[in-house]
Structure formats: structure tokens, C-alpha cells
Amino acid sequence: MKNNLIVKEPEEMVLMKGGRFSESALKLSAYLIANLKKDKNIYEINVKNYFEQFNIKIGNYKYIKDVAKELFDKEFIMEDRFAKKLNFYHFLAGVEYENGILRVEFGSLLMKYLLEIKDKYLKYEIQNIISLNSKYSIKLYKILKDNLGQNTRFGKKSELKLSVDEIKELLEIPISYKYGNSSGIKKRILEKARKEFQEHTDIIFEYKEIKTGRKVIHIQFFISQNPAKLQDETTKKFDKYFKSRAMFVKLLRQNYSGTGKAFGYKTIEGKVWWLKLDKKGLLYGSVGSVTLDEVNNLDSLTKEFNSVESGENYDLWFKVAQNSDLYKDFITQGFCLYKIFKENKELYLELQKELILLKEQGII
């Protein structure tokens, strides 16, 4: 069972009121939405596989009984007061369970609504909520992720100002919860979510308290992509290019042709030639930061490599790529290996240490 299922929820559902769904119900509902297909309203779930994916104790029959009943029993409300629209739904129209298989039926009106949504929706990978340990963290994730998506589309900074009362309403926090005490909203919900997002999701946030007198009245959220997860996504995106020499050469030509950036070097007679690709995708070397377009005396400052030499250079750097994550970072993020570029100097020196080790091990 895949963890990278895509959930597509209408924004009204992200901000929906009513229902007070538990953490378990929020996860199962997201899973079902991710699996929706046109002209199919009955779905079967292998409960054992589902438990494994969501890190739930295997054999917990009561868990699946309770969460399915919750989705069947509770209604949720989506309201657009400006457009004078009000929708009441039960998430499921029917539930059956037998021999480890959970069979659920979607209500026709809800299914139609979910499948026909074309704009104003939140899209996220289900793996982002799998490890969140409270319904408050899940609901806050959706709200902040939605805000980040909207602001990114319009080139704005992602900030969201909510009153403490609005946070209580949107996250469905009991009225009895205070903001600042030892078991209140700040410590039990905001701080917990901030740590969970950093570790498990594709977004992170910081926040600022806005006070009237000594009382916290509003919270200003500052939302951004999680750098750690962005790096993971970049690595996954480029993984296929390191599986074969042909794909590796393709990656270099796609990202380095005509840029003047060096993806490697070759030492010939004591002189370092930085390996680059011209606009036609042919391999050449240059001394210093010079490119083919910048000089008249090509013989002294640049060197063209024939097909045999090019092949040897590609072989060498393909081996480096297969054995060095640091080198992968260089070429997938568009860095130039030329050492005078100060912003890359520390990484360059780290890579030199790796290359020396690879040579000592006889890998390159």
C-alpha cells in the first residue's frame, strides 16, 4: 500500500464546522478521499494493510469498528454565508466489516461534491498526516498548508493571523482550554504541532503572540516549506538519473548545457580543466571561470574533449555520483564546482575529501 496517496479536499472541508472528528476519523476520511474514483461508491479496505500504513496496532478490531461508526454517525457542515449555501453530509452511507475487510459506501451527494471540485481545494500527500498524533495537529496542518498554497500562487509571504477564539473554533478545541497554562493551547496544541510538523510534514511554522494588555488575543502564523522535506523531494525527483550512465548524462545535459557551470574537473599535465557543456551539449574544459563564449584564444583557456575523452569523463563522474550524496546535491541543485565561488567553498572542500577517499578505496 502506497504512502504517497494524494488527498484533494475542498477548502470548505478544510474549514468545516461540526462533526468533531477524532484523529482516527480524520485519517480514515483522508484515505478514502484519496482513493475516490468516478462511478464507484463502494470501497473495500484491507484492514491489516491499513493498520500497517498508519502505524496502528495490528489486530485492533475495536479501533476499526469505532472509527467506521464515527464516520457513519457524525455529520459535518459546510457553509458559505456570502453565497447563501449550506451543505450537511454524513461521510458514509453504509459500513460492513467481515474477515479483515472493511467495506464502505459513500453517499451520492458527497461523492459528487468531492469528485467535481475544480478549484479552491487543498492538495496534500497523505504521508504528511500519518505520523501526526492528534486531531488538532491534523486540522492545523490542513489550515496552514492551504494558506501556504494560496499565498504561493500569488507570490505572497505565507502569514495567517487568527484570534485565539478562531483557533478554538477551527480546531474544535473545548471552550475549557485556556491559552497559556501548563496544559493549554500553546503547549498542548501549538508547540506540539510545531515539533510534529518539523519532523513529519512538508511544512513548518513559527508563530508570534499578539497581546492586548497581558492577554494573548491573536496568533500570527509564519508558514513555509519544510527544508528537510524539500531536500527529500529533490532527491526522489532525481533518483532515476543516477540509476544508469545514460540517464546521468541526460541529467547533466538538461541542467548544465550552455550555463558555464562545471559539473566536475579533469587534471591534465598539472592543469585543472573544469568540465562544462556547451549549448550543443558537447563537453569542454575551461581554466578558471571562463566559458567558450567569452574568449578568443580558445587554445590557452579552453579545451574541447573528443568522444573518447568525453566518455572517460562521464564514466568517472557517474561513479562519483553513485558513491557521493554530496556530489548529487551539487549537480541536482545547480551548484558550480569551480572552487572560487565563495558560496560553495565549504561544500567544495567537503567534496574534495570524499573524492580523495574514493580514490584511496579504488572506486574512482
User: Which part of the chain has CATH 1.10.10.10?
Assistant: 1-129, 131-225
**Which pLDDT value is given to residue 299?**
56
Q: Is the pLDDT of residue 1 over 50?
A: no
Contact, 159 vs 43, CB < 8 A?
no
**Which pLDDT value is given to residue 340?**
52
* Band of residue 135 on the pLDDT scale cut at 50, 70, 90: very high
Distance from C-alpha of 348 to C-alpha of 338, rounded to nearest angstrom:
8
- Looking at the domain that runs over 131-225, which CATH code has it been given? 1.10.10.10
Q: 173-202: per-residue pLDDT in tens?
A: 998 899 987 779 999 999 999 999 999 999
Q: In which residue are the cell numbers 527544508 written?
A: 227
- The answer to which of 1-10, 104-113, 352-361 has the lowest mean pLDDT is 1-10
Rounded to 10°, the helix 23-34/61-73 angle is 80
* Band of residue 301 on the pLDDT scale cut at 50, 70, 90: confident
Cβ contacts of residue 170 below 8 Å, gap of 6+? 15, 139, 143, 162
**Averaged over 88-98, what is the pLDDT?**
90
Average pLDDT value for the chain = 86
C-alpha torsion 280→285→288→289, nearest 10: 10
Contact, 320 vs 364, CB < 8 A?
yes
**Which pLDDT value is given to residue 251?**
93
Confidence (pTM):
0.66
- C-alpha 184: how far from chain center: 30
CATH number 1.10.10.10 is the correct assignment for the domain at 1-129: yes
Q: 45-82: per-residue pLDDT in tens?
A: 999 889 988 888 766 778 888 999 999 988 777 776 67
